[in-house]
Amino acid sequence: MNEHMSDHVKDEGVNNVAVDKEVEENKEDNKGVTRDELIEQLEAQVNYFETLPQHEKFSFALNVDLQYFMLIILNILKKG
């Protein structure tokens, strides 16, 4: 029983480190991008969605899909 619990804690720690590292890498990647470039990226995505067929417009979105847009908006606000 203790081995299972220690494995679970170990797995959680590894997962958190991987997520934290990915967030830090995303922050570093966005440092060189200008506010205007971020706005262009966001506008391009909005325009892309307008071209999708109806069945794709109303399909499910994953949290990672939403995170992409949140990062763009967050960086626009930080640079504004």
pLDDT value, residue 49: 92
What mean pLDDT comes out for the span 49-69?
Answer: 93
User: Looking at this protein, which amino acid is placed at residue 5?
Assistant: M
Per-residue pLDDT band at 67 (split at 50, 70, 90): very high
- C-beta neighbour count of 72 within 10 angstroms: 20
Q: What is the pTM of this model?
A: 0.56
Enumerate the domain spans of the chain. Answer: 1-31, 35-80
pLDDT tens digit sequence for 45-54 = 999 999 999 9
What mean pLDDT comes out for the span 1-17?
Answer: 48
Q: Report which secondary-structure segment, H or E, holds 48.
A: helix 35-50
pLDDT value, residue 22: 67
The SS3 of residue 65 is helix
